Amino acid sequence: MYPYRCWVEISRCQILENFRNVRAVVGPSVQVIPVVKAEAYGHGLLEVARLLERDGAGWLAVSNVNEGISLRDAGINCRILVMGGLLTEERQSLFDYGLTPVIHSLEDLTETNEAARKRAQVLRYHLKVDTGMGRLGALESAEEICRAISQARHIQLEGLMTHFASSADYTSDQTEHQLRAFNKILNVIRQRGIEPKLIHLSSTNAVAYGRSSAWGNLVRVGHALYGYVSAAQGPAPTPILRVRPALSWKARILTVKDVPEGTCIGYNAMYRTPRRTRIAVVAAGYADGYPHQLSNRGKIIAAGALTPILGAISMDVMTIDISQAPNLKAGDAVTLLGSEGDLSVDAQHIAQLAGTISYSVLCGIHPRVKRIYI
């Protein structure tokens, strides 16, 4: 038993297995960029980055310059792709730390080129085009994009990319529209004698559901590394990628007591016991990242059984009904996310009940929750 009130256990072996499964699915002609932004989706930026670099990852993808700097300061030497856009004051750090930016607009392309001219230092970049996501990415015509690339003589186009909005949704043809729009721009660029070395459009879902025509020669995979693939909508093919969650989340019981029928539990008396009930107060709450939306409706695993949460989830604690597990005592551990025996509760189960997405559940686990790597 770990000497912590609340902790997550993260399997290095499972992250590596997931990474290797992605590489096996896409094959040797397609590179894989592991996405480690947002503290590696709550799994720990530096630990996961070191693990993947040792296993042969040639790239890592982050959201912002500060994440890239953290990796460099920790001794990470592989290529780092900064995907989330640049502020003007961040641009010089690209040169100082050897980071590769994703450029999202032709204005940013011009400004980055000018920064490279002043530094007298060549910078490789990836250009993102907005093919229908309606978020980051250049919206100009292929001809305008070609002119801007040609005029930016102090920086070097290394990659052309886009991002799919709904690649697991087979009730929509949006992904096919985006792929056609991307290929139209790519073909014009190539006709003008510009040849990006790297072409990438796909993240986890497009890989998992076998949209191989959209893989290019590089894929950006985040969610799958940590053991998740989004459920498909519509007549989707069977996933070709198998991954398993790498993280489990546990907390200890602070106190156990028997309360009579009619006892109010927690804030606003959200729950009133219908009979004599044995309850346990668990050292995890919404400040730890457990969704408050699961007040009086979520379930965790205690003593190998699904156990209901009673009343409101508080900042630091939650209350559960352990009437079916009377031998549980203060100090025992329960499982908020993970498996015990044949029972499992993963981030997708929690997200569905909370009305959110599994990304949010994983990224929402607070830094005060101790990370333990096994």
Q: Is 37 a catalytic residue?
A: yes
- Which H or E run includes 54? helix 45-54
Q: Find the catalytic residue in 37, 128, 250, 299.
A: 37
Question: 241 with 203: CB under 8 angstroms?
Answer: no
Question: 257 with 279: CB under 8 angstroms?
Answer: yes
Q: What is the pTM of this model?
A: 0.93
Of 199, 243, 200, 252, the C-alpha closest to 225 is 243
- In this structure, what DSSP letter does residue 369 have? S
Check residue 1 and give its pLDDT. Answer: 73
Give every CB contact of residue 371 below 8 A, 6+ residues apart in sequence: 7, 8, 10, 43, 44, 47
Which regions in the chain score pLDDT beneath 50? none
Angle 101-106-109 from CA coordinates, rounded to 5°:
40
The rounded distance, in Å, linking the Cα atoms of 104 and 131 is: 12
At 344-356, the pLDDT tens digits run: 999 999 999 999 9
Give every CB contact of residue 346 below 8 A, 6+ residues apart in sequence: 227, 228, 245, 337, 338, 358
Angle 367-358-57 from CA coordinates, rounded to 5°:
70
Of 252, 247, 248, the C-alpha closest to 2 is 252
Q: Find the catalytic residue in 2, 267, 329, 370.
A: 267
The rounded distance, in Å, linking the Cα atoms of 343 and 338 is: 8
Place of tokens 């890989």: 207
CA 196, 202, 208, 209 torsion-angle sign: negative
Angle 273-279-280 from CA coordinates, rounded to 5°:
150
At 104-133, the pLDDT tens digits run: 999 999 999 999 999 999 899 999 999 999
Q: Characterize the bridge pairing of strands 198-200 and 264-265.
A: unpaired
Instruction: Give percent of the chain above pLDDT 90.
Output: 97
Q: Is 247-373 CATH 3.20.20.120?
A: no
Neighbouring C-alpha atoms within 13 Å toward the C-beta of 26: 28
Check residue 326 and give its pLDDT. Answer: 85
Check residue 176 and give its pLDDT. Answer: 96
Other beta carbons less than 10 A from residue 113's beta carbon = 20
The rounded distance, in Å, linking the Cα atoms of 337 and 354 is: 14
Question: 338 with 250: CB under 8 angstroms?
Answer: yes
Of 69, 223, 231, the C-alpha closest to 166 is 231
Question: What are the residues facing 272 on neighbouring strands?
Answer: 264
The rounded distance, in Å, linking the Cα atoms of 249 and 365 is: 9
Helix axes 174-191, 142-151, angle to 10 degrees: 50
The rounded distance, in Å, linking the Cα atoms of 372 and 359 is: 20
The rounded distance, in Å, linking the Cα atoms of 246 and 226 is: 5
Q: Is 267 a catalytic residue?
A: yes
Mean pLDDT, the chain, rounded, equals 96
Check residue 174 and give its pLDDT. Answer: 96
Q: Where are the domains of the chain?
A: 12-226, 247-373
The rounded distance, in Å, linking the Cα atoms of 38 and 223 is: 12
Question: 53 with 61: CB under 8 angstroms?
Answer: no
- Can you identify the CATH homologous superfamily of domain 12-226? Alanine racemase (3.20.20.10)
